[in-house]
Amino acid sequence: MSVLRLGHVQLRVMNIDEAIEHYVNVIGMTVIARGSDGKAYLKCWDEWDAYSLILEPSDSAGLTHIAFKVAADADLDALADRIASSGADVEHLPAGSLHACGRTVAFRLPSGHQMILFAEKDGLGTDVGNLNPDPWPDSIHGIGAHWLDHLALVCEFDPARGLNTVADNAAFLRDVLDFKVTEQCLGGPDGSVMIAAFLTRTNTPHDIACVPGPSSGLHHIAFFLDDWNGILRAADIVAKSKKQPSLTPNRHGMTRGATFYMFDPSGNRNETFAGLGYLATADRPLVTWTEDQLDRGLFFLGGEDRTFVEVYS
The residue from 118, 138, 165 where one domain ends is 118
Which CA distances in Å does 171 have to 87, 181, 255?
A: 13, 9, 20
Is residue 281's pLDDT more than 80?
A: yes
Q: Are residues 155 and 270 in the same domain?
A: yes
Specify whether 166 is located in the same domain as 32: no
Tell me 97's DSSP state.
S
- The pLDDT value recorded for residue 256 is 94
In this structure, the answer to whether residues 176 and 280 fall within a common structural domain is yes
200 closest CA partner among 156, 255, 249, 145: 255
How many domains is the chain built from? 2
Residues 183 and 304 in one domain: yes
What's the average model confidence in pLDDT over 238-258? 88
Q: Which of 97, 118, 139 finishes a domain?
A: 118
Q: How many CB atoms lie within 10 A of CB 278?
A: 16
Residue 20 in this model has a pLDDT that exceeds 80: yes
Other CB atoms within a 10 A radius of the CB of residue 267 amount to 15
Continuous H helices in the chain: 16-25, 73-85, 165-175, 228-240, 294-298, 307-310
Predicted TM-score (pTM) of the model is 0.96
Tally of residues, the chain:
313
Res. 305: pLDDT tops 70: no
What percentage of the chain exceeds 90 in pLDDT?
89
Strand runs labelled E in 14-169: 30-34, 40-43, 53-57, 62-70, 91-93, 104-108, 114-118, 148-158, 163-164
Q: What is the mean pLDDT of the chain?
A: 95
Q: Is residue 136 situated within a structural domain?
A: no
For the chain, the farthest-separated pair of C-alpha atoms sits apart, in whole angstroms, at: 58
Q: Which of 96, 118, 140 is the last residue of a domain?
A: 118
Give dist(CA 29, CA 21) in Å, integer.
Answer: 10
The answer to whether residue 129 sits within a structural domain is no
**Residue 222, phi then psi, degrees to nearest 5:** -125, 140
Q: Do residues 141 and 221 lie in contact, with contact meaning Cβ atoms separated by under 8 Å?
A: no
**What is the distance of C-alpha 11 from the center of its chain?**
11
Say yes or no: 158 and 91 in one domain. Answer: no
The set of catalytic residues is: 150, 206, 220, 252, 261, 271
**Residue 101, in any domain of the structure:** yes
- The b-or-e profile of 239-259 (16+ CB within 10 A means b, else e) is eeeebeebbebbbbbbbbbbb
Q: Within a domain: residue 96? A: yes
Residue 179 included in any domain: yes
Same domain, 235 and 291: yes
Residue 235 lies in a domain: yes
Instruction: Give the CATH number for residue 51.
Output: 3.10.180.10
Q: Give the C-alpha distances (Å, rounded to integers) separating 143 from 20, 56, 93, 267.
A: 14, 22, 35, 19
The answer to whether 42 and 28 are in contact (CB under 8 A) is no
pLDDT surpassing 80 at residue 1 = no
A 10 A CB-CB count for 65 gives 18
Domain of residue 41: give its range. 3-118
Structural domain contains residue 133: no
Please tell me the number of Cα atoms within 13 Å of 41 on its side-chain side: 19
In a domain, 160, yes or no: yes
Q: Are residues 14 and 110 in the same domain?
A: yes
Q: How many helices (H) and strands (E) does the chain have?
A: 6, 18
86 and 179 within one domain: no
Same domain, 107 and 158: no
- Judge if 167 and 94 occupy the same domain: no
Q: How confident is the model at residue 243 (pLDDT cuts 50, 70, 90)?
A: confident
What mean pLDDT do residues 257-263 have?
95
Q: Are residues 161 and 258 in the same domain?
A: yes
Domain shared by 47 and 176, yes or no: no
DSSP 270-311: EEEEES--S---TTPPPEEEEGGGHHHHH-TT----THHHH-
pLDDT of residue 253 exceeding 90: yes
